[in-house]
Amino acid sequence: MSQTHETLVSLPDGSTQAFIHRGSHADLGVIEQIFKNRDYALETLRRCEEFDQKFRALTAAEKKPLIVDCGANIGASACWFAAAFPGSHVVCFEPDGANFQLLQTNTKSLDAELHMAAIAAIDGVAALVDPGEGEWGYRTRQSETGDIPVMSLNRLVNCKKSTGYVPFIVKIDIEGGEKELFSEQTSWIDEFPILIIELHDWLLPKMRTSQSFIKAIAGHDRDFVYAGENIFSLKNE
């Protein structure tokens, strides 16, 4: 691992954490987005109280909320969600080995299950692609000769539900991988009251990476709320 640095960050429960990073533009950008700009804070939503009540109802019933972090990078989003929703079980996917080492370090005190893998519609393998965007821009490409495991999100959710976990939040920032993820087997969508996604047509012009997401989400009774770079897809009940 390259030289690391330590930054004290403020978490949504009012606590602080010494967060480890490489001092790179990408790592500092992740820290700014999540801990300073609070990109995943629900209080920006008009329905914030509704979802807080859902979370409290789950924990009061001694049920274990499930948060899935697709594109966990170095662990900032996982730390944020774990502090915002204490007692949750966070499942993280990060395919890059160097990012994954920092993810392990930064989440070691959490109830977190870490996969050095990519997430997709179906199981398989992929190759890691570095398009030169920095450590937060790594992508995967499905390849029979790749060495990155790929796990089906639908299978993961079904497995977690069978062991008693209750889906609550899924966050997706996978650098264009959403094109494949939403192409099939999307029954997991309405398992999650909150789906947060960053789309990447801006990064990959003419690749239509958001098209399958738009088609898949249009068939569900959910609100569609922009907040900064992200879309919050909120289940209506």
Burial of 150 (0-12, 13-18, 19+ CB in 10 A): buried
pLDDT band at 42 (very low <50, low <70, confident <90, very high): very high
Report strand pairing: 194-197 vs 165-172. parallel
pLDDT band at 63 (very low <50, low <70, confident <90, very high): very high
The pLDDT value given to residue 134: 47
What's the pLDDT tens digit per position in 181-224?
999 999 999 999 999 999 999 888 998 999 999 999 999 999 99
User: For the chain, which domains are there?
Assistant: 42-235 (3.40.50.150)
Query: What 3-state DSSP class applies to 233?
Result: strand
For residue 65, pLDDT beyond 70: yes
Given a contact cutoff of 8 angstroms between Cβ atoms, the answer to whether 118 and 29 are in contact is no
- Mean of pLDDT over the chain: 93
What's the pLDDT tens digit per position in 66-120?
999 999 999 999 999 999 999 999 999 999 999 999 999 999 999 999 999 999 9
The first and second tokens of residue 37, run together, are 């700009």
The pLDDT value given to residue 127: 77
Single out the residue of 203, 180, 228 nearest to residue 40, CA to CA: 228
pTM of the model: 0.92
